[in-house]
Chain A
Amino acid sequence: MSGPGPTPTQIVPAVLGASTVAALPQTGANSAVQYAVAAAAGLAVWAMVYVGMAKFGRN
């Protein structure tokens, strides 16, 4: 089969991101970068735990 095709998770966040930046007071904006870095680090740790568990046959 040829799969379902691209799923709608690219355009919606882009539009949301653009509109949030437009509405956001510049003083509060830097915290978004901190949250994003923390979220990315969290995802990386999560991925390492999953791969580690899979390697030892727990997943």
Chain B
Amino acid sequence: MEMSATSEKRKLALILPAHNEEVVIGATIRSALAAGMDKSDIFVVSDGSVERTLMIALNYLPWYNTFAQAQGGKAMAIFNGIKHFGIPERYVWVHIADADGIFSPSYFDELKARLSTEYVAATGHVQSLKGGWISQYRTYEYTVGLEVMRRIQAKLGTIPVIPGATCVFRTDIIDKLDFSQHSLTEDMDLTLQIHRKKLGKIAYIPQAKAFTQDPKDFGDYFKQVMRWYRGAWQIMTRHRVGRRLQKIDGYMGYMIAEEVVLLLELTILPVVAWWTGNYNFLALMFLNDMVIFFALTLWSAKLNHRSDMLGAFPLFYILRFVNMFAFFKAWYEIVVQHKFRSDSPGWSTAGRRYRIMTEAVGIN
């Protein structure tokens, strides 16, 4: 990139794409201001909102930092916002965040201190806001998935998704990304484009912690997980994962293998045990799984100061099996039935917003 032009630019812009986010947008902007962003660097794009989303944003931001468009989907809201505000000409980095995001108090300072032009994109750490058994399970998933797996992915250069809650791009790659795909999971689509187009490395910055809202009941949880897995299969199909010889293909193959092994444990193995009359293997797998699963849950609880999550430990098995069911249901729908291929500018969060419990992270 051109270093002379870079030195004249501001370091980081924050874009919040929003569709009917009046319940949460105020808390998100307050959180960003408290976490080190200047109000002149925060931009809100309303995508066909019929609520007071922009009115609330205007309580905190100058009018020229807000923009409304007819509903075109989240990815297009991001792209049009970046163009409308002239972000690549004014900033070196652009941070995109969900409109229900909450940032830790040092979030943007940590990011700004660590963003380096040897990378083309970066992601921070995601944590669950406190809640019931679903949030308790998500705390386990985020801790193991990010504290362990994301560090390994970052070392290997195989980060498969820069999640929407904490998503940073170097502005000189924006024109090389296609935002018009209308994917179910636009964040994973953009990440795979970085890998496929060989645009450069993705950094993981665990010191920058963002908080995210989890579904409050099982119905919302299932809908969200279905969208994630349908999106994952959609992206894997679109980018022909498994048919190229890139590191990301190998890593995504490992992700699929994790679910296949669980499916085999639950289906073929019990049949083999019954057929042979030898249940030892099944029993030892279950015992090993329980010891490892509980140890990881214990570690997650300690790391996040969430001893409450230990109480729900047996229920975590239900959500693991639900995830596996959703994974293969999504595979059947996308790969076998070729569903969800039509463009849809809808928002998955429509009708699923709760007031954010900001006191949990010390933001008022």
Q: Which residues of A contact B (CB under 8 A)?
A: 1-14, 16-18, 20-21, 24, 29-30, 32-33, 35-37, 39-40, 43-44, 46-47, 50-51, 53-54, 59
Distance between Cα atoms of A50 and B308 in the complex (Å): 11
Taking CB atoms and an 8 Å cut-off, the chain B residues in 274-312 that contact chain A are 279-290, 292-293, 296, 311-312
- Of B31-39, B146-154, B338-346, the one contacting chain A is B146-154
B71 at the interface (CB under 8 A from A): no
Chain B interface residue count, Cβ-Cβ cutoff 8 angstroms? 58
Contact yes or no, B288 A4, CB < 8 A: no
Contact yes or no, A39 B287, CB < 8 A: yes
Q: Which residues of B contact A (CB under 8 A)?
A: 98, 126, 132-133, 140-142, 144-146, 148-150, 160-161, 163-165, 185, 187-188, 212, 225, 228, 231-232, 255, 257-259, 261-262, 264-265, 279-290, 292-293, 296, 311-315, 317, 320, 323, 327
Contacts of B288 in A (CB 8 A): 12-13, 16-17, 20
CB proximity of A51 to chain B, nearest CB, Å: 8
Contact yes or no, A20 B284, CB < 8 A: yes
Contact yes or no, A2 B287, CB < 8 A: no
Contact yes or no, B261 A1, CB < 8 A: no
Contact yes or no, A47 B315, CB < 8 A: yes
Contacts of A43 in B (CB 8 A): 290, 313-314, 317
Contacts of B262 in A (CB 8 A): 10
Contact yes or no, B145 A7, CB < 8 A: yes
Secondary structure at the A interface, as helix, strand, loop or mixed, is: helix
User: Contacts A12-B292, A39-B290 known; A6 to B279 CB distance under 8 Å?
Assistant: no
CB proximity of B284 to chain A, nearest CB, Å: 4
Supply 8 A–B pairs (Cβ within 8 Å), ascending by A: A2-B188, A4-B146, A10-B289, A17-B288, A21-B280, A32-B280, A35-B287, A39-B290
Contact yes or no, A10 B287, CB < 8 A: no
